[in-house]
Chains A and B, each alone.
Chain A
Amino acid sequence: MTERMIGAPVPRTEDARLVTGRGHYLDDLGAGAYEVAFVRSPHAHARITSIDVEAALDTEGLVAVYLYEDLTGKVAEPLPLLIPHPALTHGRTAYPLAKDVVRHVGEAIVMVVATDRYRAEDACERITVEYEFLPPVVGIDKAAGGEHLVHADVPGNVAAHMVQEVGDAPAAIAAAPNRLELQLDIERSACMPMEGRGVLARWDEADASMRVYTSTQTSTGVRAAVAAKLELPLDRVEVITPDVGGGFGVKIVHPWPEEVLVPWAARLLGHEVKWTEDRREHFVSSAHERGQLQTVRVGFDDEGRVLGLDVEILHDNGAYTPYGIIVPIITSTQLLGPYKPGAYRVDFRSLYTNTVIVTPYRGAGRPQGVFAMERTMDAIADHLGRDRADVRAANFIQPHEMPYDHGLLFQDGRPLIYDSGDFPASLDKLKKLVGWDDFEVFRAQARAEGRRVGIGIGCYVEGTGVGPYEGGHVQVETSGKVNVATGLTSQGQGHQTAFAQVVADELGVPFEDVSVTTGDTRRFGYAVGTFASRAAVMSGNAIALAARKVREKALRIAGEALGADPGDLEIVDGVVRVKDDHSSAIPLGTVAVLSNPLRYAFDDASKAATQFGGNADPSRPPVAEDDEPGLEGRDFYSPPRATFANGMHAAIVETDPETAEIRVLRYCVIHDCGHLLNPLIVEGQVHGGVAQGVAGALYERMEYDENGQLLNASFMDFLMPYASEVPSVEIDHLETPSPLNPLGIKGAGEAGVIPGAAVLASAIEDAEGFPITRMPIQPSELFHLRRRHAAGEIPPLRRVRTAPEEFPTA
């Protein structure tokens, strides 16, 4: 019997190719293409008064220069608002090239096409743009103040205002025996994939068709957008994602201006055109995330149970809202985590600022929400003098309460209903893994050595695998090899491996015989994209369903060939055989031959399949009326709603009493994403996520000055952590299957990052003995917080006041 592949820690088959330099990324393609560079705004907010391209025109190798005025048809219209929402009353999107006004540093103004990128940049340098400065709106406070406007026709800079309410939270808080209010602040970071964005377009004049290669998280989305913008029939546009060097959310936004402009120019010039984003462009012209100010009011009983929770969020959405208000919606719903909030009210305003747009970055609004909730849990515990883990446990939704309906609407517009999870069991595992109950012993030992340590905890629930659908196509070739296609894209998730595992098990073929194609509209035209931890759930299940169809067809055809009842057959190692007579067998490749009667013979398999070769029943048509030629199947998976994964993290940190440097000593993760398709891949996802969580807590931030200049737009000053900064991650799993899908799985792609800022704030606070309300935090900031604490400006935690001997003096 073949070993079961689903659930096995199968090493990723794609890695050898990718880590030995045999991948093909966007910039590896299109060697003869013209290349594009952009003149981008150096100012955060200004009116363009003149553009002088004269000096650039004699640049060697210059092909074309385009301004907004040169754009034609729908390309000259604003970019689409991809995800409209009734609460987004003042959605605004940019033009592909700035028209009149620029609203953030980095906004594209002039597109230059040249024979190579060097010359394109030479020409850019010679173009002069003159500006009339407008007051920049930078920072949430400035935006909320509304003194100056990012868009003249958006009062108060408010793009959206949304309130969701269950029960009467203000009344519940007012009536509660204990009340607290927290002011929290979380800063911007960004996806920063190793490969930036990039587009290559090839117009075929004879075929009147466009082929676009783009480093995207949704090739079908880009295809539809390019067809619409260039006014081409959908069947004349194909979009292919080559290897993609990471996405983390930024590449789900589409069409980016460049994804419209590059194909447009390729058609106009009758020549391949390519644009490869450089790192500086990525910093100032792609997308950021995270920035929010939060006010939390909570009422709770003496056990720490939350009776009412009222949260106000000011969300910085940057200069435009092409991706709608997905991020703050997720914050406001996923904030609840594994807890029952009692009465709940959440009110968010999404605000324009003169900064780079804000769209989902791995975690997508959840890290902020979890930060709010977990800071609140710690504050409650401290207020009551109770154990932080106990207070969380007191608020947990219990396993017998699943499915649990929060009475709110989630990001997909569907009810926020948790499908499964066992939060008490997860917490129990975490406490054991990190040694929660023994920590005070460790703290005492460390203190005796003059060291300062703290422990923190954070819990989250993550809606994964959101719809509307994905599809899969499975085809058995006459060689017995299996081709699998799904429309969503891959950015390093290991889809070749995971989906091949699914097909190997479902169809009964060797894992090695399965090859997977993703993100190629030539192979599969219907797809949504790879985001929201959805690929395994959506395409994994769709491919499983498609493989089941193929299996059914194979058993039917083999049954006819073997004179057996299909119900008596099994498929093992690519061979269909009678269960209790293994000598009666037929390889799947032969079944594929039988499935497709041919007129022509061109190899041995087709010889066997020609209509003149076999001894098919002459009274029946070669292909039955309700059948199709070929051993293949296609199916779709469309769930009623998202499936909710969860996890709990704990960290132990050490803070240097003198230098205020912060070091993560241990980082522990309990993770529950239902059945594990491949534990190695899941753990890899968690490791990468934790790295980004630590990054967002201790290292990365977008440092805008008051004029809207991004001061750290390079990897020299934007501190993505190295391997030397990321702690070793200890993981244990809980597998609570999802009842919503055939494989019983939940998404795992974002898990690791979500509670990072919350957990590390909790741990640093515990080490220092005073509240941490703003993340990320750097040593310089911790140094100043210590000073303020020592000066009495920041009160100590209550547990420090009750047991001062256990905590350091500042």
Chain B
Amino acid sequence: MKPPAFKYHAPASLAEALDALDAVGHDGKVLAGGQSLIPILNMRLAAPAHLVDINRLSELAYVRTEPGGVTVGALARHADVERDADAYAAVPLLRQGLRLVAHPVIRNRGTTVGSLAHADPSGEMTAVLALLGGSVDLVRKGASRTVGAEDFFAGPLESCIEPGEMAVSAYFPRLAGRTGTEFVEAARRHGDYAMCGVAAAVTLDDDLRVTRARAAYLSVSPVPLVLDLTEAVHGATPATARWADAAALAVLSIEPEPDIHATAEYRAHLARVLTERALRAAAQRATSTDVERTSR
């Protein structure tokens, strides 16, 4: 389990990094936290000829909270985002999801943008970006573009980042209105890839009636799946809403694959149970603490 030879680039600035990526094109890969890339290299599942290490690009190590949402730079570690109080206040789902990402030592090293670029459909942050309708900023030498979550994920372990391009930041918008969120999952061990995970967002009107209920799913589809479940619970209060109906509706749109840890049937069952739990908790959050914050 040793990687084949590669050329190591250690740019000191974003400009240098983009130069390097531009020069190596298809043969290049960005190294940030390395929590997925290094094992992939060691197992020789990938053999890029060039690694462009962005760990010296301190200009990208930021978590920036603005009225509209949170922007996370490419070198911000999961732990930086998880512990950022402003980011939590603006977008609680960030911390709700991050506490389920592996373990603290991995979160100390792994980057949030890196996990998006890895595009693992069992990654929590892919679901967070998808549910929030966030976006990723991609930059190449002389050009840049912003790609919405719905277009960013192309398939399992496949994003729309092109050769020569680098994801420099991700934007997680604050949800409008009286909205509560929750992230729940079932994993074999604490911190494992979930057998199924659900991120939920429920919005209430001023009479505390449900106006919107949505959920995003982990590990049950090739790319993050976002479902609008409003029709099952529209107009109900969090206490009277038939969350089970919303969960049943969700399961109709889910076709999970089996693996050695969970059959497809069990995964679908988990999706139903976890949808109900996540929606109920999100609605509870929307009724209480979120009132002041969203009106501020």
Measured CB to CB, the nearest residue on chain A to B258 is A780
Residue from the set B1, B193, B195 with the largest chain A CB neighbour count within 10 Å: B1
How far apart are B149's CB and chain A's nearest CB, in angstroms? 26
Q: Is there contact, CB below 8 Å, between B192 and A719?
A: yes
Residue from the set A659, A711, A780, A783 with the largest chain B CB neighbour count within 10 Å: A780
Q: Is there contact, CB below 8 Å, between B190 and A724?
A: yes
Q: Is there contact, CB below 8 Å, between B261 and A778?
A: yes
Measured CB to CB, the nearest residue on chain B to A35 is B2
Q: A278 at interface (Cβ–Cβ under 8 A)?
A: yes
Q: A581 at interface (Cβ–Cβ under 8 A)?
A: no
Q: A602 at interface (Cβ–Cβ under 8 A)?
A: no
Q: Is there contact, CB below 8 Å, between B2 and A778?
A: no
Q: A118-B2, A719-B188 are in contact. Are A659 and B261 (CB under 8 A)?
A: no
With A and B bound together, what is the CA distance between A722 and B103 in angstroms?
11
Q: A118-B2, A118-B3, A122-B5 are in contact. Are A780 and B262 (CB under 8 A)?
A: yes
B260 in complex: contacting residue of A117, A660, A712, A783, CB < 8 Å: A712
With A and B bound together, what is the CA distance between A659 and B274 in angstroms?
9
Q: A659-B270, A719-B192 are in contact. Are A117 and B261 (CB under 8 A)?
A: no
Q: A703 at interface (Cβ–Cβ under 8 A)?
A: yes
User: Which chain A positions have C-beta within 8 A of B265?
Assistant: 783-784
Mark contacts of B1-15 with chain A using CB atoms, 8 A cut-off: 1 yes-contact digit, 0 otherwise.
Answer: 111110000000000
User: Which chain B positions have C-beta within 8 A of A117?
Assistant: 2
Q: Is there contact, CB below 8 Å, between B1 and A703?
A: no
Mark contacts of A110-146 with chain B using CB atoms, 8 A cut-off: 1 yes-contact digit, 0 otherwise.
Answer: 0000000110011001000000000000000000000
Q: A14 at interface (Cβ–Cβ under 8 A)?
A: no
Query: Total A-B residue pairs with C-beta atoms closer than 8 Å?
Result: 67
Mark contacts of A87-129 with chain B using CB atoms, 8 A cut-off: 1 yes-contact digit, 0 otherwise.
Answer: 0000000000000000000000000000001100110010000
Segment 478-524 of A: residues with Cβ below 8 Å from B: none
User: Which chain B positions have C-beta within 8 A of A660?
Assistant: 266
Measured CB to CB, the nearest residue on chain B to A717 is B260
Q: A658-B273, A699-B189, A722-B190 are in contact. Are A784 and B263 (CB under 8 A)?
A: yes
User: Which chain A positions have C-beta within 8 A of B192?
Assistant: 719
User: Which chain A positions have C-beta within 8 A of B1?
Assistant: 121, 278-280
User: Which chain A positions have C-beta within 8 A of B103?
Assistant: 722
Q: A84 at interface (Cβ–Cβ under 8 A)?
A: no
Q: A661 at interface (Cβ–Cβ under 8 A)?
A: yes
Does more than half of chain B's interface fall in helix, strand or loop, or is it mixed?
loop
Q: B25 at interface (Cβ–Cβ under 8 A)?
A: no
Q: A415 at interface (Cβ–Cβ under 8 A)?
A: no
Q: B68 at interface (Cβ–Cβ under 8 A)?
A: no
Mark contacts of B161-191 with chain A using CB atoms, 8 A cut-off: 1 yes-contact digit, 0 otherwise.
Answer: 0000000000000000000000000101111
User: Which chain B positions have C-beta within 8 A of A118?
Assistant: 2-5
With A and B bound together, what is the CA distance between A163 and B270 in angstroms?
47
How far apart are B156's CB and chain A's nearest CB, in angstroms? 15
Q: A721 at interface (Cβ–Cβ under 8 A)?
A: yes
User: Which chain A positions have C-beta within 8 A of B2?
Assistant: 117-118, 121
How far apart are A195's CB and chain B's nearest CB, in angstroms? 14
Mark contacts of A709-724 with chain B using CB atoms, 8 A cut-off: 1 yes-contact digit, 0 otherwise.
Answer: 0011010110101101
Mark contacts of A413-427 with chain B using CB atoms, 8 A cut-off: 1 yes-contact digit, 0 otherwise.
Answer: 000000000000000
Chain A contact patch, size range: 20 to 34
With A and B bound together, what is the CA distance between A721 and B186 in angstroms?
15
Q: Is there contact, CB below 8 Å, between B186 and A779?
A: yes
Segment 718-733 of A: residues with Cβ below 8 Å from B: 719, 721-722, 724-725
Q: Is there contact, CB below 8 Å, between B4 and A784?
A: no
How far apart are B158's CB and chain A's nearest CB, in angstroms? 19
Q: A280-B43, A778-B261, A784-B266 are in contact. Are A122 and B4 (CB under 8 A)?
A: yes
How far apart are B51's CB and chain A's nearest CB, in angstroms? 15
With A and B bound together, what is the CA distance between A567 and B261 in angstroms?
69
User: Which chain B positions have C-beta within 8 A of A716?
Assistant: 193
Q: B44 at interface (Cβ–Cβ under 8 A)?
A: yes
With A and B bound together, what is the CA distance between A722 and B192 in angstroms?
10
B266 in complex: contacting residue of A122, A280, A779, CB < 8 Å: A779
Segment 768-790 of A: residues with Cβ below 8 Å from B: 778-780, 783-784
How far apart are B280's CB and chain A's nearest CB, in angstroms? 13
User: Which chain B positions have C-beta within 8 A of A712?
Assistant: 260
Q: Is there contact, CB below 8 Å, between B266 and A699?
A: no
User: Which chain A positions have C-beta within 8 A of B189?
Assistant: 699, 719, 721-722, 724-725
Measured CB to CB, the nearest residue on chain B to A658 is B273
Measured CB to CB, the nearest residue on chain B to A657 is B273
Q: B56 at interface (Cβ–Cβ under 8 A)?
A: no
Measured CB to CB, the nearest residue on chain B to A705 is B260
Mark contacts of B56-71 with chain A using CB atoms, 8 A cut-off: 1 yes-contact digit, 0 otherwise.
Answer: 0000000000000000
How far apart are B289's CB and chain A's nearest CB, in angstroms? 26
User: Which chain A positions have C-beta within 8 A of B190?
Assistant: 722, 724-725
With A and B bound together, what is the CA distance between A125 and B45 in angstroms?
12
User: Which chain B positions have C-beta within 8 A of A714?
Assistant: 43
Q: B141 at interface (Cβ–Cβ under 8 A)?
A: no
User: Which chain B positions have C-beta within 8 A of A658?
Assistant: 273
With A and B bound together, what is the CA distance between A188 and B94 in angstroms?
39
Q: B269 at interface (Cβ–Cβ under 8 A)?
A: yes
A125 in complex: contacting residue of B4, B43, B191, B195, CB < 8 Å: B4
Measured CB to CB, the nearest residue on chain A to B263 is A780
Q: Is there contact, CB below 8 Å, between A783 and B5?
A: no
With A and B bound together, what is the CA distance between A711 and B263 in angstroms?
15
Measured CB to CB, the nearest residue on chain B to A278 is B1
How far apart are B105's CB and chain A's nearest CB, in angstroms? 12
How far apart are B36's CB and chain A's nearest CB, in angstroms? 11
Q: Is there contact, CB below 8 Å, between A661 and B186?
A: yes
Measured CB to CB, the nearest residue on chain B to A724 is B190
How far apart are A504's CB and chain B's nearest CB, in angstroms? 40
User: Which chain B positions have C-beta within 8 A of A703?
Assistant: 260
User: Which chain B positions have C-beta within 8 A of A779?
Assistant: 186, 188, 195, 262, 266
With A and B bound together, what is the CA distance between A733 and B28 in angstroms?
60
With A and B bound together, what is the CA distance between A376 and B261 in angstroms?
29
User: Which chain B positions have C-beta within 8 A of A661?
Assistant: 186
Mark contacts of B247-268 with chain A using CB atoms, 8 A cut-off: 1 yes-contact digit, 0 otherwise.
Answer: 0000000000000111101100
With A and B bound together, what is the CA distance between A6 and B95 in angstroms?
51
Segment 4-57 of B: residues with Cβ below 8 Å from A: 4-5, 43-44
How far apart are A145's CB and chain B's nearest CB, in angstroms? 24
How far apart are A62's CB and chain B's nearest CB, in angstroms? 14
User: Which chain B positions have C-beta within 8 A of A717?
Assistant: 260-261
With A and B bound together, what is the CA distance between A658 and B262 in angstroms?
15
How far apart are A164's CB and chain B's nearest CB, in angstroms? 37
Q: A118-B3, A659-B273 provided; 12 other pairs, C-beta below 8 A?
A: A125-B44, A659-B186, A719-B189, A721-B189, A722-B189, A722-B190, A722-B191, A725-B190, A779-B188, A779-B262, A780-B262, A783-B263
What are some 15 contacts across the A-B interface (CB < 8 A)? A118-B2, A118-B3, A121-B4, A122-B4, A125-B44, A658-B273, A659-B274, A660-B266, A699-B188, A699-B189, A721-B189, A724-B191, A780-B266, A783-B265, A784-B266
Closest 9 pairs (CB-CB, A-B): A724-B190, A780-B266, A278-B1, A118-B2, A780-B262, A658-B273, A703-B260, A783-B266, A121-B2
Q: Which residues of A contact B (CB under 8 A)?
A: 117-118, 121-122, 125, 278-280, 658-661, 699, 703, 711-712, 714, 716-717, 719, 721-722, 724-725, 778-780, 783-784
